[in-house]
Amino acid sequence: MRFATQVDTIMPRHKWIIFSLLLTPTILSAGDWPQILGPTRSGTAQDEELLAKWPEDGPKEIWSAKIGSGYAGPIIKGDKVIQFHRLEDQEVLSCFDVTNGKVIWTHKTKAYYRGGVNADLGPRATPLIADNAVVSFGAAGDMTCVSLADGKQRWIRNLSTDYEAADGYFGAGSSPIEIDGRVLVNVGGRKAGIVALDLKTGKTVWAKTEEKASYSSPTLMKYGQKTIVVFITRLNCVALDPADGQIVFTIPFGKTGPTVNAAAPLVFESQLFISSSYGVGAKLLALTSAGKMVERWGNDESMSSQYSTCVYKDGFLYGTHGREDFANGVMRCVDAKTGEVAWQQSTGVAHTILAGDKMIMLTSDGTLLLAHANSKEFKQLSEVQISTNSTRAIPALSNGRLFLRDNRGQSGKLAAYQVGQ
């Protein structure tokens, strides 16, 4: 499918940086990982130098803490790491000291989610840190804002009730995003599909679209002179103006039936990469000098990601193609310009973090790998079974330490490992 005519020209490379930098909506310090997929929601760590390889028994565990259930990943700002999880009948925000794992504060709310296709009752959406606040989105649709300093509650709203949203297959699971003091989230309700709340008060700024909810999380993209928010919803890729919710563009993306859109959109060099499994496939879209989005390529053979998001480096995409439930996940390197597969390696479905010229990959069965981000071949440097439990949550990398959580039943562990200098 084309979204503009052949005469449209792709924006020159020397202008890409000007027009497509991912913007971080809050002031960050070195090592901060304040939201899903890191500072720029691209899975890329800033100013991190990874070890050349790990000891034979794996990277050193610095500390660990017992937590509850869920698939929300950890987030980090300064000396604090935040973990969102469920303990019995409560959804819990736990704040730990990043250096030793000691609990700094805890915030609890009543958990109302009773389960769906998956037996895990914990929250799926990774919280975010913005303007010294922590915002979480629970499995039953409760959005909560607390102080980063002490965990005191600022406001709470049940968005599923307010906008009449169904639980879906696994409860609410799209992580929110913040820009200009507004928190945006794909609620997927009958009254509104995407809403924006005031970060300070929790009041609705706008509520727009009829988009159903997905398990993908939005990102920011520079679009001409504007910064827009790009969502992958249940059946579309939708970009909106965060100021008023006006739709900038909509691209059909998804299939009805027992399918899920879960990988996040990835923005790089005036381009937008979207991917899903279940026969949906992937598309690489580019912003033209005329301000239009054109499809450069699209298929279901190059990179069909079930729920993990690719990373990008030097013209190539690195990520998982395949499905966890089919046990056919492979790590692939794909030419972003053409969609051609440069190489693939059997790994299983994995989350990927890029740091410099190296990648850390965490598979859903607890295998942790270190490899070069090399478009010529898959060059593995280290491998270790870091956990015997489920490790579906996206990890975080901060100041040479990898923070990851695992799950077994309704409990799990959050741990910090030394993986960098």
Position 120 scores a pLDDT of: 86
Instruction: Name the amino acid, one letter, at 37.
Output: L
Query: Which stretches in the chain have pLDDT values below 50?
Result: 1-22, 24-25
Position 24 scores a pLDDT of: 47
Position 289 scores a pLDDT of: 85
Q: What is the pTM of this model?
A: 0.93
Task: Look at the alpha carbons of 55, 411, 366, 51 in this order and tell me if their dihedral is positive or negative.
Answer: negative
Nearest to 62 by CA among 85, 86, 81: 81
Position 283 scores a pLDDT of: 98
Position 7 scores a pLDDT of: 28
DSSP 3-state of 272: strand
Q: Which residues, including other chains, have CB under 8 Å from residue 337's CB and lie 6 or more apart?
A: 296, 315
Position 25 scores a pLDDT of: 47
Measure the CA–CA gap between 405 and 395, rounded to whole angstroms.
7
Q: Which residues, including other chains, have CB under 8 Å from residue 240's CB and lie 6 or more apart?
A: 184, 194, 208, 209, 228, 229, 231, 246, 247, 248
At which residue do the structure tokens 């971080």 appear?
24
> Which domains are present in the chain?
13-418 (2.130.10.10)
Position 29 scores a pLDDT of: 72
